[in-house]
A = this chain, B = another copy of it.
Amino acid sequence: MAKQIITPVQKRFSDVDSFMHVNNIWQQSYFDMGKTAFYTQVLGITGVFDKLRIITASTHTDYYGQVRLTDDIVVVTDVSRIGTKSMTLHQRIMCGEKCLTESSSVMVAFDFETQQSVAMPEAWREKLADYLIHSEG
């Protein structure tokens, strides 16, 4: 069974908009925290200050329910596709058993010196395989 990275989220009062729920842009920020945790814990990189970085090519997000300030939520991150130069991260904002928001992001390996996308290291591909979900694989 595929492994997952689970990231608890510390909400901020300013995340909540006048609809009394967490604004969509901050939900994207929660997914970013999940990505950062994934890079650190799975790939052993920060993805930020390294020569080889990971950039976002595209995201798709489905909003199923509202995230309230008092909801105890986590971001669950796994992998739905492993390509040569890119991978697709699959992420969910979960409140208990309930999925409030689901997002997929195509992430590309990018060499900041040559400013070009490059093949992901084989070491990454091996580590990613543990987190690959089969239903969407």
Task: Mark A residues whose CB is within 8 Å of B.
Answer: 9-10, 12-14, 16-20, 23-26, 28-29, 32-33, 36, 48, 55-63, 69
Residues of chain B within 8 A of A17, CB atoms compared: 13-14, 16-18
Residues of chain B within 8 A of A48, CB atoms compared: 13, 18-19, 69
Query: What does DSSP make chain A's interface, helix, strand, loop or mixed?
Result: mixed
Q: For the complex, what is the distance from the CA of A60 to the CA of B57, rounded to whole Å?
A: 11
Residues of chain B within 8 A of A16, CB atoms compared: 17-18
B63 engages A61 (CB within 8 Å): no
A63 engages B57 (CB within 8 Å): yes
Q: For the complex, what is the distance from the CA of A14 to the CA of B58, rounded to whole Å?
A: 18
Residues of chain B within 8 A of A9, CB atoms compared: 10
Closest to A28 in B: B25
What are 7 sample pairs from A and B whose C-beta atoms fall under 8 A apart? A13-B23, A13-B36, A16-B17, A17-B18, A18-B48, A56-B63, A57-B62
